[in-house]
Structure 1
Amino acid sequence: MSMIRVEQLHKHFHGVEVLKGIDLSVQKGTTTVIIGPSGSGKTTLLRCLNLLEIPSQGKLTLANTSISFTRKSKVSYSDLMSIRKQTGMVFQNYNLFPHLTAIENVMEGQVIVQKRTKSDARSLSLQLLDKVGLRDRADSYPHELSGGQQQRVGIARAMALHPQVLLFDEPTSALDPELVGDVLQVMKDLSAEGMTMVIVTHEMGFAREVADQVVFMDQGIVLEKGTPDQVFELSNNERTMQFLRKIQGGPRSTNFS
């Protein structure tokens, strides 16, 4: 069963075509990892999946919501909110509210968007902080947390709204190497639990171990997609192989055992 289906998706910025007809399907309960060089359109595609960027053309289906885009049409507020309520986004630079504690950051969307009582929101937030290994830092402010801890709070915050899909935009790229493993382990645990995830990352070891589907993008198109073995070991696409040779020359290795 497809959780996400993208059909002939295009995106233009100021006359420049950034996405050039993307077709992609993500099955429920699976992890899709998007890789590719900088400027290939990976983040733009991810942001189109929750309509932080509105596609210029094409069709997006997420669970039971389907939207067609043209350059002249506008997305209705109800369609916009329907997509966003089904997706949780984890950003590269955490995007926590600096004046709120960890638990208050996780509670915020529950209280404001979902109208939960503060008591219910606090109870769920403690559970989620425990899940990401940060229950003991619930009352810490972002400036009192390491980058890796802030990112794990960001994951808990995204999970708090019970999304159908979690979207990760290079969640470890701003972290010191020694902090990467804890964040990736949380993501690995979510994958094992059957959370549907789409992840843009340069962590090739993580992609090999966790992904059900690897998507390689370059210059706004999907050049190759398949299982980790198909893309990393059996690819016959010269551009894919060139990229992997370059990035695997010095990747950060992370031990998940």
Structure 2
Amino acid sequence: MIDIKNLHKSFGNNEILKGIDLQINKGETAVIIGPSGSGKTTLLRCINLLEIPNEGSIAIGESKLVFNGNKKISNNEILELRKGTGMVFQGFYLFPHMTVIENIMEGQITVLKVSREEASKKALKLLAKVGLLEKKDHYPYELSGGQQQRVAIARAMAMEPEVILFDEPTSALDPELAAEVMKVMKELSREGMTMVVVTHKMSFAREAAHKVVFMDDGLIVEAGTPQQVFENTSNERLKQFLSIVDD
């Protein structure tokens, strides 16, 4: 499903990703953990081509791009790879002038070119899935942060991506609201949605991940099942990180 090989990304002279190799199978939830500045979010943004890697390759499903600092990637190539992904950010980025259901319909109509009737039908189904059907005609400012993030997840799902990328989806939320969002994400994981999740929530990684990836200083230091990473690691840097993480 996702195959990343020898991925490098620098900003000026600052090398953030230093040769990432990562494979994620269809239906897996991969959770990326690590200290701040380790390259987690940059890796996620490279997968979605919000940042263009300097070197290496990314394949998502049948689409693949090879990066070389001297070769310009075209907009069509970016769109071809990106259409297989949905992204849920730290901030919710809902359209403030649109209702909840309109937010979920918009991409379907403008990008997928489906009818308003079909878009509405899918939006209602997804709102029921995330437990917000009764909020369909509300505006974002009328929702809690947890509710807004659940709408953002529904919006990403409406585009029928092969994989959904989550960048610290609960970091701006208090524990109760974060639990609402995590509940939806765990359900998606159980249903076999392919997901890549950057988070500081170790409890989510333990409970929902098929694969846990520990990054430090731009490298993948260890990757394995939750049991391997949390209980059986022999890596001292990972042990140190886990000893100071409170969730």
1:75 equivalent in structure 2: 73
Cα distance in structure 2, aligned partners of 1:19 and 1:26: 18
Cα distance in structure 2, aligned partners of 1:80 and 1:25: 20
1:150 equivalent in structure 2: 148
Cα distance in structure 1, aligned partners of 2:104 and 2:36: 31
Cα distance in structure 1, aligned partners of 2:175 and 2:159: 29
* Letter in structure 2 aligned against 1:24: L
Cα distance in structure 1, aligned partners of 2:72 and 2:213: 29
Secondary structure of 1:67's aligned partner: strand
1:60 equivalent in structure 2: 58
Matches within 5 A, 1:208-219: 208-219=206-217
1:226 equivalent in structure 2: 224
1:110 equivalent in structure 2: 108
Secondary structure of 2:30's aligned partner: strand
1:98 is aligned, of 96, 107, 110, to 96
2:204 equivalent in structure 1: 206
Is the 8 Å Cα contact of residues 43 and 169 (structure 1) preserved in structure 2?
A: yes
* Root mean square deviation, CA, Å: 0.7
Cα distance in structure 2, aligned partners of 1:77 and 1:177: 39
Q: Structure 1 segments of 4 or more deviating over 3 A?
A: none
Displacement, 1:177?
Answer: 1.1
1:123 equivalent in structure 2: 121
1:136 equivalent in structure 2: 134
Secondary structure of 1:167's aligned partner: strand
Cα distance in structure 2, aligned partners of 1:222 and 1:206: 19
* Letter in structure 2 aligned against 1:110: Q
- TM-score, with length taken from structure 1: 0.95
Instruction: Flag structure 1 segments of 5+ consecutive residues without an equivalent.
Output: 252-257
Displacement, 1:156?
Answer: 0.2
Cα distance in structure 2, aligned partners of 1:158 and 1:66: 21
2:4 equivalent in structure 1: 6
1:48 equivalent in structure 2: 46
Is the 8 Å Cα contact of residues 49 and 60 (structure 1) preserved in structure 2?
A: yes
2:186 is aligned, of 185, 188, 199, to 188
Displacement, 1:180?
Answer: 1.1
* Letter in structure 2 aligned against 1:154: A
Cα distance in structure 2, aligned partners of 1:157 and 1:62: 20
* Identity across matched positions, percent: 60
- TM-score, with length taken from structure 2: 0.99
Cα distance in structure 1, aligned partners of 2:35 and 2:96: 32
Secondary structure of 1:153's aligned partner: helix
Is the 8 Å Cα contact of residues 88 and 166 (structure 1) preserved in structure 2?
A: yes
Q: When the two structures are aligned, how many residues end up with a matched partner?
A: 247
Is the 8 Å Cα contact of residues 65 and 79 (structure 1) preserved in structure 2?
A: no
Secondary structure of 2:122's aligned partner: helix
